[in-house]
């Protein structure tokens, strides 16, 4: 117990959510009474149980410097269990101002994350954690609540890891899967996303299997190529990739997803065909069904044709398409599709030999469903300095 009386003011100021366990341990190499072996034991205990092991003075160091600040957590019941949407406070930025130009955003911004219950084929209840990679988004998809905020700033690796830590050790729901499908475009913040994954999959820490992590993109072809290089590395080959497709006709996709004006469907198809796949896992395509926009027979035929390019030589499907009924954003020009229309469109896809699954709506009434994450107050402000992707020379609106 003598080590616990160590003056913790002299301990290294290392955020355990910002570094790998080995890096955390290395910071204590020359600290008397701790050392790298005990420091590794401490951080391993923290990430796996939510508590320090208690064997060194690290256990007495103040947590306020790194512990995520939970702003609020809201729950909604679904047929498969409780959906929980939670907000974490992160430092603000001077990149935005009020529309009147008389003020700036408050010192803190909020990230939004969602814990989604899933009942598997064997009836076992698990949770998928939908994490954000940015506050806001620069991609400008017209159907998405987050896009209406514009891009405020990208999250750091520790702010991404903090979402997992909060779900697991504060809310008490250890997720079986992590999907980068919250606020932001992950490939627009790829370095921090990959760093966060590196921390999460470390066997001396959280030890999340890389095969249980999915990065979703609207189709940044440059980012896909960069990600492909990483996926070829040992230990990363089972990382999952998902495409937010939403239209297989260029004119339609141009209208609802400005990214398509930069990289069209042919370029996107080629990038995904070249993306390395290990272990035989399927590519995941997501299709948000919007009434009167992308729900016609012609749309279904175009999707079927697009997907056929990914058939394996033996005829097996390489793509699983998740059909997602549109969840209206605030002030949406479109309603949610009727159940009859969703079933009709799904049948059209199956008739076109598309391997399709229906994603059930969860969290819609608390603005926690797919496409609904975002801060309404930030929508009333404007971004001062343009960052991120430009489309045809302009920031996506």
Determine whether 27 is exposed, middle or buried from the number of CB atoms within 10 Å of its CB (0-12, 13-18, 19+): middle
Q: Mark 325-350 as b/e (b = at least 16 C-beta within 10 Å).
A: bbbbbeebeeebbeeeebeebbebbe
307 C-beta neighbours (distance < 10 Å), count: 25
Pairing of strands 381-383, 69-78: unpaired
Helices marked H in the chain: 21-26, 35-49, 157-165, 190-201, 221-231, 250-256, 265-274, 297-308, 339-351
Q: How far apart are CA 104 and CA 383, in angstroms?
A: 10
42 C-beta neighbours (distance < 10 Å), count: 26
Residue 104 DSSP code: B
CB 152 within 8 A of CB 135: yes
Question: What's the CA dihedral at 230, 234, 240, 242 to 10 degrees?
Answer: 20
Instruction: Decide if 144 is catalytic.
Output: no
Q: How far apart are CA 117 and CA 83, in angstroms?
A: 6
Nearest CA to 230 out of 265, 201, 206, 205 is that of 201
| Phi, psi of 126, rounded to the nearest 5 degrees | -130, 175
Largest CA distance in the chain: 73
The distance in angstroms from the start CA to the end CA of the chain is 59
Q: Which of 130, 137, 144, 370 is catalytic?
A: 370
Q: How far apart are CA 357 and CA 337, in angstroms?
A: 16
Tokens 């990230």 correspond to 111
Q: Which residues have a catalytic role annotated?
A: 370
């Amino acid at each position: 117990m003598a080590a616990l009386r160590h003056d913790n003011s002299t301990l290294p100021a290392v955020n355990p959510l910002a570094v790998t366990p080995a890096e955390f341990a290395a910071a204590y190499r020359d600290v008397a009474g701790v050392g790298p072996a005990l420091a590794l034991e401490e951080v391993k205990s923290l990430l796996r149980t939510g508590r320090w092991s208690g064997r060194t003075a690290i256990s007495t160091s103040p947590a306020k410097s790194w512990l995520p600040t939970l702003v609020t957590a809201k729950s909604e019941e679904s047929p498969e269990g409780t959906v929980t949407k939670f907000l974490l406070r992160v430092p603000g930025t001077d990149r935005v101002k009020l529309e009147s130009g008389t003020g700036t955003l408050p010192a803190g911004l909020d990230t939004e994350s969602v814990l989604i219950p899933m009942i598997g084929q064997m009836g076992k209840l698990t949770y998928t954690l939908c994490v954000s990679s940015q506050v806001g988004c620069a991609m400008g998809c017209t159907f998405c609540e987050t896009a209406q905020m514009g891009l405020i700033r990208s999250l750091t690796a520790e702010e991404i890891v903090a979402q997992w830590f909060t779900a697991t050790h504060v809310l008490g729901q250890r997720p079986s899967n992590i999907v980068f499908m919250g606020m932001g475009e992950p490939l627009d913040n790829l370095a921090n996303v990959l760093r966060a994954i590196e921390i999460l999959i470390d066997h001396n820490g959280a030890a999340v299997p890389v095969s249980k992590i999915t990065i979703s993109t609207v189709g940044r072809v440059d980012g896909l190529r960069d990600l492909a290089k990483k996926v070829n590395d040992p230990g990363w080959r089972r990382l999952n990739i998902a495409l937010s497709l939403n239209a297989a006709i260029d004119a339609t996709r141009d209208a609802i997803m400005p990214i398509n004006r930069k990289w069209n469907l042919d370029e996107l198809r080629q990038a995904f065909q070249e993306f390395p796949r290990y272990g035989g896992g399927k590519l995941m395509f997501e299709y948000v069904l919007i009434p009167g926009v992308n729900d016609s027979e012609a749309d279904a035929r175009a999707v079927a044709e697009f997907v056929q390019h990914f058939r394996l030589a033996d005829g097996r499907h390489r793509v699983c398409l998740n059909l997602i009924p549109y969840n209206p954003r605030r002030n949406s020009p479109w309603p949610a599709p009727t159940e009859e229309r969703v079933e009709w469109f799904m049948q059209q896809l199956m008739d076109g030999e598309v391997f399709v699954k229906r994603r059930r709506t969860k969290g819609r009434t608390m603005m926690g469903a797919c496409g609904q994450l975002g801060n309404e107050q930030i929508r009333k402000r404007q971004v001062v300095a343009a960052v991120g992707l430009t489309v045809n020379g302009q920031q996506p609106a």
